Chains A and B, each alone.
Chain A
Amino acid sequence: MKVSFQALQRHVDLTGITPERLAEVLPMLGLEVESIHSFGLAPLPLVVVGEILEFSKHPQADRLSVCKVDVGDGQPRQIVCGAKNFKTGDRVPVALPGTIMPGGFEIKVSKLREVESMGMMCSAEELGLGKGEDGLLILTAPKPAIGTPLNQIYGAPDSVLEISVTPNRGDCLGLRGVAREIAAALNLTLKPLSINTPAGFVAQPSASDAFRYVQLNSEFCPYYTARSLRKIKVGPSPEWMRRDLEAAGLRPINNVVDITNWVMLELGQPLHAFDAKQVQEGIIVRGAKAGETLTLLDGKKLELEAGSCVIADAHRPLVLAGVMGGVDSGVTSATTDIILESAWFRPGEVRRVARRAGVATDSSHRFARDVDPAGVELASRLATDLLVSYAGAEVVGSAVATGKPPRAEVKIQLPLGFVAHKTGTSVTDVEVAKCLERLGFSTEKSSSGMTVLVPSFRSDVTRPIDCVEEFIRIYGTDRVPVGRPIAPLPGEEDTRSSLFTREISSRLVGVGFTECCHYTLREAGEIERTLGKSALPQLALENPLTADQTHLRASLIPGLTGALALNLSVHADPAGLFEVGVVFRPQSDGTVREFLSVAFATLASSVVRTWKSREAWDVLKAKRMLLDVAALANLSASRLTFAAHADGLWQKDQASALVDRGRSAQGACGILDLRWTRSLGIKGTVIAGEFMLPRSAFAEAVRIPRFAAFSSFPPATRDVAVIVPQKTSAAEVLSRVQQSAQKAAAKEFELEAVHCFDVFSGPGLPEGNKSLAFEIRWRHSTRTLTDEEANRAMGVVIAALEKGAGWTIRR
């Protein structure tokens, strides 16, 4: 809200206080000052009123005129001018040589295209008076005397403070509310309002009123007042009022509209004036009926939502209650009689209706923030005073009120020492009472503490804790002591997922990967590439802001790949990149699950030319990393399966999809789809991996490992090589070796390890076959295994392998 420093002084005496001082005080009350700017004419002693005596075309420039101007110094001076909107006899502001214009430009005697110019005639904008009409500022009605300094006409400049008011402080959406805060903070007295129009309402209109009845038929309007005024002469409002409106950023329209706006700025209570001749019979506050329409003052035609609150006459809706009037019943230059509405509408409903209609007005903004019900009458009376004074209005009968104010003062019981207790200070209740009273609250000692009476303009203060805030705003937060640090709570630990995130990131950094951070919201094409078209509707947002951020990310790989491409394009060596973050995956049960994902990507071989290259990356190294991630997340490798292919982002036959049967973790590793990475401008292959863990994977508590004794006797080691068809998976052979070696040991000794030490295909083997060689290690816990035992065990393994279809032992 724009607050004029001069206008504030109507409510509180600010002698000796600068606008800059206010800009320090207001924020500490909770009213943030976003800016201060000067409003009105800056001190310009050398800008005076001049009269254009005659003018002619510039001999060398079609667009310029050469004028003779009298500035009252007895010597008409020649001024070259580019404006067109003047005639002989016009009085205009003239900046004499030596003037520093508000823009910092100095006026000098100069020649414009060979013709001497002794000053400058000014436009409103050049004088810092805002965007006026194009061309010179023509000074009219009444014509000021020639030679008068312009500052004498315009008065001293004002400062306007742009204040941002939090949604709980509807009372500060009027000057008086802001003044009240300032008075409280600086311990000043709020000046009383002086209003001539008598207080009080009657329940029914009289015969002379412009409306026969007022009916309240909507729960959204508990309190409605209206009064009739006639013989109004619609015209411009007085200069001071126009100034105030402009200072507040409003455009003056005519005296009636300006008065309603001015009172709203002053007291925070929005008013509405109807052209009485357009109101048929009476006023009905009701819910709109289905199919009704209303054309608003701004020309927007609304299909009214059934039930939303409107002010109607006997036949049709006239106003969207609390939001904006209709064009049919608005005040025009032909209006003579008006009905002045001052009412209270439910904040939530006004907010909802305004949002739905897509209309935000000064009125809806205030009603949505709960205006003071006591202000309804005050605003109506103040506006009536002004309509009488500045629009020639004649008051008809008494004002009519229907319903009753929805809330009044609130009583709060503040327990003894409550404020000191909550603030951690040693303030006494007497100090508390003093601070609250400065805000216009009244207090009374009670048996259990203090009774605080909160005026109705403070809808946000209803509970003891609210009084703590009020107190601390006035008392000052800098006077609250700094509490002592505290001891940790036993048994509390960071969530396992956060520990995991920290640890895995450090490990990846340790092996040369750099962490990235990408947006969660992605474009549709990326989701389609990752999960296919069917996932698009499942991951779409309801109300995306931009076309490139419409979906939730399903993988971190596209972001990383983009970063690889970006860094290659700017010649930064991307080495390895990784990211840890949340991705979203549709599940078979129709839900979407959040997974904590760890992903990495790197070029298979470095792009940097160097005397000795770093170790190249391949898919099985990526697999190793994935297994390490799984181990860190406490997922046992034995439950993980690596399928022979992965789709979407991955290259056919060169990647593997990973599934964890136990905890529904998933992932993939391998070479990224070459056609895709090439289309991004990446030469060479990209090796990547991603491991995704559901939140449930971190639910189990971590067990502290227990020590198990190990054997001090030597192992028995045997090798076996088996020739299998090329398409048989290594996992199948390995699993057969493991099972049989386990079985061979029976319960007598232990299988310690099986590891693959050779994979071969080529000369010496039948076409379409490969050979896998394994070392098997057995050990006994209490003695050395004999050769016979080991050989017997080996016999079991060989027998088992020979049962494999098309499998032969290589001898």
Chain B
Amino acid sequence: MQQSLAQLVAQAHQEAQVIKTRAEMEAFKARIVGPNGSLTALMKNMATLSKEERPVMGKLINEAKKSIEDLLATLLLKIEDAEISATLGTPLDPTLPAIDSPAGQHHPLSQTRERILATFRKLGFTVAEGPEIETEWHCFDALNTPADHPARDMQDTLYLPQSFQSADAPRRGQEALVLRTHTSSVQIRTLLNRKPPLRIVAPGRCFRRDAVDATHSANFHQVEGLWIDHNVTLADLRGVLDFFVKETFGPEAEIRLRPSFFPFTEPSFEMDLRSPNLGRLSNRWLEIMGCGLVDPAVLKNCGLNPEEYSGLAFGLGLERIAMLLHGIDDIRHFYQNDLRFLRQFA
């Protein structure tokens, strides 16, 4: 009996090797441990054994039973593996090219804008906005540039017909509507709606009646900055701009404030930048933005007392900064949207 038990186990292991399907496995299982199975039959024979033989044989039968169960479990795993592989098909070749679905990207002007806004955010400047169509009052008069001021000649303006009514910039009187020539108009909208202290940056699209060439565009983008509080000084202006330039162009970048003229700031400056990291424009002064202390007349126009409040303002050209940062030589690239250009700024 002991011999036939060993034989049974050995034979089962041998037979198991050729079993491929669940059905074969079930039949095999029945042949051994089913009601009429060979192992079952041996176990039934136990009753015929003597009292002395029984424990010895019982132990052996249990070992054989365990061995068969392990065999069946292994067999099941093997069959399941084969079934899963069959479902999934041919094995993967991980070296095949990925699906050709290139990542999208942000426009270089947006990237530059976000970079600039993030820098000013560190200094507590949050984003404000205004309409692209403005009244002449918001765009010029309130900014201390009355109609007969020669500064209005500085910018050739695109006008809308007298019949045009803007839902976002209602006229105050008979004034004309214009496509805003600068984002400085957002200074006015902000000052009229909010109380100091305030620190804003206003990114936005601006328009001039300029012929398009490598450095001029019928529309372009500016980021305007305004800080109004008690005792804002020229030193604050230098501090803010110095921080901006070093964050944007690296710690070696330097600035200088060159006296200039804008009707809405006094004193007014052009901020020049010099940096060793600007390719062929390295190490020379480059005009970057206009800035200054907010002219008291502007504060007064917005109902603020210039004795109580002072402020600083600046306005930079997004295209100009992006061109310097990336070494782009023609402003028209930004508006052509050739992916061979856009994809360089991923």
* Chain A residues packing against B (C-beta within 8 Å): 27-30, 32, 166-169, 347-349, 351-352, 355, 368-369, 421-425, 463, 465-466, 468-469, 472-473, 477-478, 480-489, 492-495, 497-499, 502, 505-506, 508-521, 537-538, 540-546, 549, 559, 563, 566-567, 570, 572-578, 581-582, 584, 587, 589-594, 606, 608, 610-615, 694-695
Beta-carbon contact of B127 and A498 below 8 Å: yes
In the complex, the answer to whether A421 meets B124 with C-beta atoms within 8 Å is: no
Contact residues of B between 150 and 167, Cβ < 8 Å to A: 150-151, 153-154, 158-167
| Chain A residue with Cβ nearest B272 | A27
A421 CA / B256 CA spacing, docked (Å) = 21
Those of B209-263 within 8 Å (CB) of chain A: 209-212, 217-219, 231, 233-240, 242-243, 256-261
Some 20 contacts from A to B, beta carbons below 8 A apart, are A30-B260, A167-B153, A421-B233, A463-B266, A477-B269, A482-B239, A483-B235, A488-B124, A494-B126, A509-B104, A516-B107, A520-B205, A520-B218, A542-B164, A545-B218, A573-B102, A573-B339, A575-B104, A590-B165, A611-B97
On chain B, the residues within 8 Å of A368 by CB distance are 150
If A495-B127, A518-B335, A575-B101 touch, whether A468 touches B161 (CB-CB below 8 Å) is no
Q: State which of A369, A469, A578 has its C-beta within 8 Å of the C-beta of B267.
A: A469
Structural contact, B259 and A30, CB atoms closer than 8 A: yes
Given A515-B106, A519-B219, list of 13 further CB < 8 A pairs?
A27-B258, A28-B259, A351-B150, A472-B267, A473-B267, A480-B238, A508-B104, A520-B205, A545-B218, A592-B166, A610-B97, A611-B97, A612-B99
Contacting residues, chain A, for B266 (C-beta < 8 A): 463, 465-466, 468-469
Complex: how many Å from CA A478 to CA B258? 9
The answer to whether B124 and A492 touch across the interface, beta carbons within 8 angstroms, is yes
A residues less than 8 Å from B270 (CB atoms): 32
Hey, which chain A residues are within 8 Å of B257, CB to CB? 477-478, 480
> Closest approach, in angstroms, between the C-beta of B144 and any C-beta of chain A?
11
Nearest-Cβ distance from residue B243 to partner chain A, whole angstroms: 6
A to B contact number (C-beta, < 8 Å) = 281
Q: Answer whether residue B132 sits at the interface, using C-beta atoms and an 8 A cutoff.
A: yes
A540 to B343, CA, bound (A): 34
Question: What is the bound-complex CA distance between A32 and B207, given in angstroms?
Answer: 24
Question: Hey, which chain B residues are within 8 Å of A485, CB to CB?
Answer: 122-123, 239, 243
Q: How far is the CA of A166 from the CA of B267 in the complex (A)?
A: 13
Report which of A348, A486, A489, A498 forms a contact with B198, defined as CB distance below 8 A.
A489
Does any Cβ of A come within 8 Å of B5's Cβ?
Answer: no
Task: Verify A347–B150 contact, CB threshold 8 A.
Answer: yes
Q: Measured between alpha carbons, how far is A612 from B114 in the docked complex, in Å?
A: 36
By a CB distance below 8 angstroms, the chain A residues around B96 are: 611-612
How far does the alpha carbon of A541 sit from the alpha carbon of B209 in the complex, in Å?
11
Whether the Cβ atoms of B238 and A489 lie closer than 8 Å is no
Given A515-B106, A614-B100, verify A566-B338 contact (CB < 8 Å).
yes
Taking a contact as CB atoms under 8 Å apart, the answer to whether B218 and A515 are in contact is: no
Give the docked Cα–Cα distance between A521 and B203 (Å): 19
Q: Tell whether, in the assembled complex, residue A614 and residue B99 are in contact, meaning their CB atoms are under 8 Å apart.
A: yes
Q: How far is it, in angstroms, between the C-alpha of A369 and the C-alpha of B212 when the chains are bound?
A: 29
CB-CB under 8 A from A355, the residues of chain B are: 153
The answer to whether A514 and B342 touch (CB under 8 A), given A352-B148, A495-B128, A610-B100, is yes
Q: Contacts of B166 on A, CB cut-off 8 Å? A: 591-594
Main secondary structure of the interface of B (DSSP, over half): mixed
| A517 & B234 in contact (Cβ 8 Å cutoff) | no
B271 to chain A, nearest CB (A): 10
Residues in B with CB closer than 8 Å to A576 are 104
Q: Once bound together, how far apart are the Cα atoms of A206 and B136, in whole Å? A: 51
How far is A538 from B161 in the complex, measured between Cα atoms in Å? 9
Residues of chain A with a CB closer than 8 A to B114's CB:
502
Docked CA distance A167–B207 (Å):
21
> Provided the pairs A30-B258, A477-B258, A591-B166 are in contact, do residues A549 and B218 lie with their beta carbons within 8 angstroms?
yes
Determine if B197 is an interface residue (Cβ-Cβ < 8 Å).
yes
The answer to whether residues A567 and B338 also contact, given A167-B261, A512-B103 and a CB cut-off of 8 A, is: yes
A587 cross-chain contacts in B, Cβ below 8 A: 167
A465 x B296 contact (CB < 8 A): yes
A482 touches B267 (CB 8 A): no
Chain A CB within 8 A of B340 CB: yes
The residue among A351, A492, A499, A582 with the most chain B CB atoms within 10 A of its own CB is A492
A441 CB, min distance to chain B CBs, angstroms: 16
Contact residues, B121-143 vs A (CB, 8 A):
121-124, 126-129, 131-133
Judged by a CB distance under 8 angstroms, whether B109 is at the interface is yes
Q: A472-B259, A521-B218 are in contact. Are A423 and B234 (CB under 8 A)?
A: yes
Whether B337 and A510, one on each chain, are in contact in the complex, defined by CB atoms closer than 8 angstroms, is: no
User: B185 within 8 Å of A by Cβ?
Assistant: no
Any A CB within 8 A of the CB of B293: yes
Closest approach, in angstroms, between the C-beta of B339 and any C-beta of chain A? 4
A656 CA / B241 CA spacing, docked (Å): 49
A581 surroundings in chain B (CB, below 8 A): 205
CB <8 Å contact, A472 and B234: yes
A489-B198, A544-B158 known; A570+B338 contact, CB < 8 A: yes
A505 CB to closest chain B CB (Å) equals 6
Which residue on A lies nearest to B257, using beta carbons? A477
- Verify if B149 is at the interface (C-beta below 8 Å from A): yes
Q: Is the CB of B102 within 8 A of A575?
A: yes
B183 at the interface (CB under 8 A from A): no
Please indicate which of the listed interface residues B104, B146, B242 has the most CB atoms of chain A within 10 Å of its own CB: B104
B4 CB within 8 Å of chain A:
no
**Cα–Cα distance between A493 and B260 once the two chains are bound (Å):** 32
CB distance from A531 to the nearest CB of B (A): 15
What A residues does B212 contact at CB under 8 A? Answer: 546
Are A480 and B339 in contact, with the CB atoms below 8 A?
Answer: no
Q: What is the distance, in angstroms, from B203's C-beta to the closest C-beta of chain A?
A: 7
Residue from the list A484, A508, A608 in contact with B100, Cβ < 8 A: A608
In the complex, chain A residues whose CB is within 8 Å of the CB of B238:
477, 480-483
A30 to B256, CA, bound (A): 12
Given the known interface contacts A167-B151, A511-B104, the answer about A520 and B207 at a Cβ–Cβ threshold of 8 Å is yes
Q: Are A541 and B199 in contact (CB under 8 A)?
A: no
Task: Say whether A486 contacts B158, CB under 8 Å.
Answer: no
Contact call A28/B258, Cβ cutoff below 8 A? yes
Measured CA separation A611–B148 after assembly (Å): 68
Q: Are A480 and B234 in contact (CB under 8 A)?
A: yes
Asked if B275 is an interface residue, CB under 8 A from chain A, the answer is no
Q: Cβ of B184 < 8 Å from any Cβ of A?
A: no
Cβ-closest 3 pairs across A and B: A348-B148, A424-B235, A483-B239
B268 with A469: CB separation less than 8 A: yes
* Bound complex: CA A478 to CA B179 (Å): 36
Taking a contact as CB atoms under 8 Å apart, the answer to whether A483 and B237 are in contact is yes
Contacting residue for B126 out of A483, A492, A538, A695, CB 8 A: A492
A419, B218: Cα distance in complex, Å: 40
Contact A424 B234, CB 8 Å, known A469-B267, A510-B104, A542-B160: yes
Residues on the A chain within 8 Å of B154, using CB:
167
B309 interfacial by beta-carbon distance below 8 Å: no
B195 to chain A minimum Cβ distance, whole angstroms, is 11
Interface string of B331-345 (1 = CB under 8 A from A): 000111111101100
Contact B160 A486 (CB under 8 A): no
Q: Does B283 contact A (CB under 8 A)?
A: no
* Separation of A587 and B166 alpha carbons in the complex (Å): 10
CA distance A348 to B133 in the complex (A): 26
- Minimum CB distance partner of B239 in chain A: A483
| The one of B124, B126, B269, B337 that contacts A517, using a Cβ cutoff of 8 Å | B337
Let me know if A473 and B234 touch, CB within 8 A: no
Contact status B260-A594, CB under 8 Å: no
Q: From the candidates B160, B165, B234, B295, name the one contacting A541 in the complex (CB within 8 A).
A: B160
